[in-house]
Homo-oligomer: A and B are copies of this chain.
């Protein structure tokens, strides 16, 4: 797995500048790079206020890497995990999403036991229909029930419009996403009108950052994929961010059967490249991947000038950065043709 550092740094800079110009905080999502602190620090250096993660185990990795402000944009449930969560809160400004009263009470109780406080953001369902309390009145009622608890501190609201990420009509995506985040801000207004302070209103995803970014009242964006981008996001309208991730494969066979003159077999299959959005695209030559079992890829060479030999290398663009990074324990950080480093992905496999 290769990452183009020049592209990464441009992507980080571009999003940092966008947020600065909009006057909105940026809290990049580290799930895309499986919580590798090296990328988080690059984002913070460019102005990010903190980091978002999907899982408690990723938060632990980042806290261990020195990140001091972490949002777990997900529910942390059960005694064993909450114990880990409150421990983390002793040395990191940790915020966790909540949408269930028993869960909040358990967090509060276990935090009190070790004399710490955990920040909580109430997740509001703004249309994604996954986790989250229903907006406005239901959220107000929920917040009222947790406001008095010791051991937790209500920090604000979170919402996500993941159901719109790949909406094909970009104008419609913008309109619907704007509506979603207005609903989140309307919910904040209900709380404000009830005299409840709401410090953070957070949401957004790379594919709707332009809509989320212009909704007044949202205080921060939690964007992930933009740092690497991938061909799927690129094709879905994210052309302002370069694709940074590729996989370097080796030709292991040149079939000699009649009709297969332009075919080559590569040594990496679905166990090393996520295909949930389709086959990867060929970067290093004119060609296409037309079949991928678990351990191999079948390549059709489209440029008659190219004569690949067994042992030659072929570079493939990653079509699903999120899923592909999760296959690798480390990646090669490239500066042009030079390897600048081999960087650990310490959160790989931390899926709960």
The verdict on A219 contacting chain B, using a C-beta distance below 8 Å, is no
A326–B324 Cα distance when bound, in Å, is 12
A78 sits at the interface (CB 8 A)? yes
The answer to whether A352 touches B272 (Cβ under 8 A) is: yes
A54 to chain B, nearest CB (A): 5
Check A257 against B296 for contact (C-beta < 8 Å): no
Neighbouring B residues of A89 by C-beta, 8 Å: none
Using CB atoms, name the residue of chain B closest to A326.
B271
Whole-angstrom distance between the Cβ of A76 and the nearest chain B Cβ: 8
Does residue A231 face the partner (Cβ distance < 8 Å to B)? no
Partner of A130 from the list B76, B298, B327 (CB cut-off 8 Å) is B298
How many copies of this chain does one complex carry? 2
State whether the Cβ of A95 lies closer than 8 Å to any Cβ in chain B: no
- A229 at the binding interface (Cβ < 8 Å): no
**Chain B residues positioned under 8 Å from A260 (CB to CB):** 129
Q: Chain B residues near A275: list those with CB within 8 A.
A: 276
Q: Pick the contact of A77 from B100, B272, B311 — CB < 8 Å?
A: B311
Q: Indicate which residue in B77, B251, B254 contacts A250 across the interface (CB closer than 8 Å).
A: B77
Are B323 and A54 in contact, with the CB atoms below 8 A? no
Judge whether A303 is part of the interface by a CB distance below 8 angstroms: no
**Pairwise interchain contact B130-A351, C-beta atoms closer than 8 A:** no
Is A294 located at the chain interface by the 8 A CB criterion? Answer: yes
The yes or no answer to A319 lying at the interface (CB within 8 A) is: no
Contact with B along A249-282 (1 / 0, CB 8 A): 0111111110010000101111110111000000
Contact size class for A? 35 or more
**A63 at the binding interface (Cβ < 8 Å):** no
Name the one of B129, B133, B251, B323 contacting A271, with C-beta atoms under 8 angstroms.
B323
Q: Which residues of B contact A31 (CB under 8 A)?
A: 294-295
Assess whether A296 is in contact with B130, with CB atoms less than 8 Å apart: yes
Q: Given the complex, which residues of B lie within 8 Å of A235, measured CB to CB?
A: none
Is the CB of A232 closer than 8 A to any CB of chain B? no
Quote the shortest CB–CB distance from A147 to chain B (angstroms). Answer: 19
Docked-complex contact A323 and B294, CB < 8 angstroms: yes
Out of B130, B138, B256, B351, which one reaches A253, CB within 8 Å? B130
Q: Is the CB–CB distance between A100 and B253 below 8 Å?
A: yes
Of B74, B255, B269, which is within 8 A of A131 by CB? B255
Complex contact A310–B103 (CB within 8 A): yes
Contact of A349 among B134, B274, B329 (CB under 8 A): B329
Chain B residues whose C-beta falls within 8 Å of the C-beta of A77 in the assembled complex: 250-252, 267, 310-311
Give the contacting residue for A295; candidates B54, B268, B271; CB below 8 A: B54
Cβ-based interface call for A211 (8 A): no
Known pairs A77-B310, A102-B311, A129-B255 / 7 extra A-B pairs, C-beta < 8 Å: A31-B294, A77-B311, A103-B310, A134-B256, A268-B352, A270-B274, A272-B351
